[in-house]
Amino acid sequence: MFEREKIFNRIIQRVNINLRDLNFDVSPFVTGHADLRQMSRFYAFYGVTTDIPLNLQFIHSSLAGSYFLGKCQVKNAMLYKTDIRGDELKRKGSTFQFKNFSIDLRQDEFIDIVSSALVKTLVHNFSHDPESPERFFIKNTLSLDYANIHGAPADGCFLSPFATVDLTTMRNCAIGAYSYIQAGRISHLNVQPGTIWVNSPGTFNFLYQFPQDRLQHYIKQEAGGKPEGALIDFIEKRAQAFDKVFDTAITSPPIPVPETASLDRYAVVLSETTIDENVLVAQRAYLENCTMGIGANAQENCYIINSNLQGNNVMAHGAKVVETEMEKNIFVGFNSFLVGKPGCRITIGTGCIVMPHTIIDCSEPLEIPPDTLLWGLITNKQELEENSIPLEELRVVHHSIQRGNMHFEGEGGAFVEGFKHRINHILESNGAFYHQHNNNIKGHAQNNRKLSLNNIQPYLFGEMEGVYPDITIQPQG
């Protein structure tokens, strides 16, 4: 048996042990999907910059096609085309504020991945767990295609395709396909596919459930099979464009890029696309015939096609936008799927918030008024009315409201202000405000211009095929 198979089988066993109280077996979801022969086909790569602490350790692991930036340890694990971004990890000497606790950090935070298998997963941000402020851990966890682990330590968990866990500590949980969870701390939960849950205990609770029969058109995975649906088809249709990017040595960007913006070496740019100042385009982003206005960003696994973004638009990890006109200061959440069509374009007004994992699949032109919150599944004007609310109307909610499959209770003002604060923080971190307000605070858009990328290779033959030698990469001195 190849060593990669031994590693993978042990990970499955560890995850199943952790999920035993849920009677959840991950084996049927991975044995028909994961092709371990792919583990020797792709190199891994890492970024080096003087702005981000460097300390990488890879021990008895396979890393095919994966990207690393910052401080990270991977041990007895398998990562396939996974992005590990440590550019926002907490630094030694800083203070982590959690509720009434001020926690002084004595060392740089690092991402610690142990006995886990991550498939096409994005890991980013930093640990929001006050019990592990210097260690963003992912242990005994298995995640599948286009899942996001964002500031969310995980122990003994399973993430189905397109699932997102955000600012949440998970222990022994199974998260269903296309579910988004932001709930602080969860344990021993089996979350149904298409659950959108944002909970701040004692302050507010937002809960939406996709209709299961309609969600399956977009994403489903049956035991023994691979993920299927419109989301997978959309990505696979454009996969060859990424093959060309990863197979060639590109020395200059394919389009003009301002000095205050950055276009990642491993992003795809096609047709008539323009990039303005302070724009951030991350690796594995896909731009085709689009306009990126000042301060807009396209994060990992984003697709922006035949669309115009006027500026300061946040396209969170995995967001997909087609045939859409976006005014300024719009937030599009994780893994959202906004699909207009020629003659049925989407127009989104200034200041709108598109909740994570929202699907807008137009059968007619849709125009969304400014300062509107949107969620769920929208295909026409009637469903837009049912799955949206003006932000000012939500602000004055103090008890609860019900709209279709969405239930909200608590303080609407706190919910809106929390989102607004986070959007502003994302824009600032990404460098959208550089040169504005005379602060000259650089962000990822400016710092990533100084990033150098390096490849590392696995064993290509024998029992260790697809496994990487133990490697330690540290800064000089």
pLDDT digits (tens, 9 = 90+) for 367-405: 999 999 999 999 999 999 999 999 999 999 999 999 999
Asked whether 84 and 71 are in contact (CB, 8 A), the reply is no
Determine the Cα–Cα distance for residues 77 and 139; give it in Å rounded to an integer.
9
261/384 same-domain check: yes
Query: Looking at the predicted structure, is the pLDDT value of residue 6 above 90?
Result: yes
Query: Looking at the predicted structure, is the pLDDT value of residue 250 above 80?
Result: no
The whole-number average pLDDT for the span 124-133 is 96
Position 465 scores a pLDDT of 96
354/437 same-domain check: yes
Query: What CATH number did the domain enclosing 324 receive?
Result: 2.160.10.10
Determine the Cα–Cα distance for residues 359 and 338; give it in Å rounded to an integer.
6
User: Residue 319 half-sphere exposure, CB side, CA atoms within 13 Å?
Assistant: 25
The rounded percent of the chain whose pLDDT value lies above 90 is: 91
273/189 same-domain check: no
Position 439 scores a pLDDT of 64
190/265 same-domain check: no
Structure token digits, residue 35? 């092709």
430/281 same-domain check: yes
Query: Looking at the predicted structure, is the pLDDT value of residue 464 above 90?
Result: yes
Position 34 scores a pLDDT of 77
Determine the Cα–Cα distance for residues 185 and 403; give it in Å rounded to an integer.
26
Position 33 scores a pLDDT of 79
Position 435 scores a pLDDT of 85
Asked whether 263 and 286 are in contact (CB, 8 A), the reply is no
Q: Which residue has the tokens 């550089």?
A: 434
458/444 same-domain check: no
82/218 same-domain check: yes
The rounded percent of the chain whose pLDDT value lies above 70 is: 98
Query: Looking at the predicted structure, is the pLDDT value of residue 38 above 70?
Result: yes
Q: How confident is the model at residue 99 (pLDDT cuts 50, 70, 90)?
A: confident
57/142 same-domain check: yes
Average pLDDT, the chain: 95
Least confident interval from 86-95, 204-213, 221-230, 256-265:
221-230
Least confident interval from 165-174, 195-204, 249-258, 366-375:
249-258
- Of 94, 91, 98, residue with least CA distance to 130: 98
Query: Looking at the predicted structure, is the pLDDT value of residue 310 above 80?
Result: yes
Q: Which sign does the torsion angle of CA 377, 383, 384, 386 carry?
A: negative
Model pTM?
0.97
Determine the Cα–Cα distance for residues 356 and 349; give it in Å rounded to an integer.
17
Structure token digits, residue 88? 């926002």
The whole-number average pLDDT for the span 427-456 is 88
233 assigned to some structural domain: no
Position 437 scores a pLDDT of 60
Q: Which residues contact 41 (CB under 8 A, 6 or more apart)?
A: 64
Query: Looking at the predicted structure, is the pLDDT value of residue 63 above 90?
Result: yes
Task: Please enumerate, as own/partner, the contacts of 436-439 that have beta carbons within 8 Å and a separation of 24 or more.
Answer: none
393 assigned to some structural domain: yes
73/197 same-domain check: yes
Determine the Cα–Cα distance for residues 384 and 367; give it in Å rounded to an integer.
9
257/223 same-domain check: no
| 138 phi/psi in degrees, rounded to 5 | -135, 110
User: What are 186-228's pLDDT values in tens digits?
Assistant: 999 999 999 999 999 999 999 999 999 999 999 999 888 899 9
406 assigned to some structural domain: no
| 159 phi/psi in degrees, rounded to 5 | -115, 120
Q: Which residues contact 239 (CB under 8 A, 6 or more apart)?
A: none
17 assigned to some structural domain: yes
- Which one is predicted more confidently, 185 or 35? 185
62 assigned to some structural domain: yes
Position 436 scores a pLDDT of 65
Range of the domain at 96: 3-227+451-473
For 431, the 3-state DSSP assignment is coil
Neighbours of 199 (CB within 10 A): 18
Report CA 352 to chain centroid distance, whole Å.
20
Position 247 scores a pLDDT of 84
272/365 same-domain check: yes
- Cα–Cα separations (whole angstroms), residue 113 to 69, 189, 299, 434, 459: 14, 22, 22, 34, 21
Structure token digits, residue 464? 């260790």
192/242 same-domain check: no
**Domain total in the chain:** 2
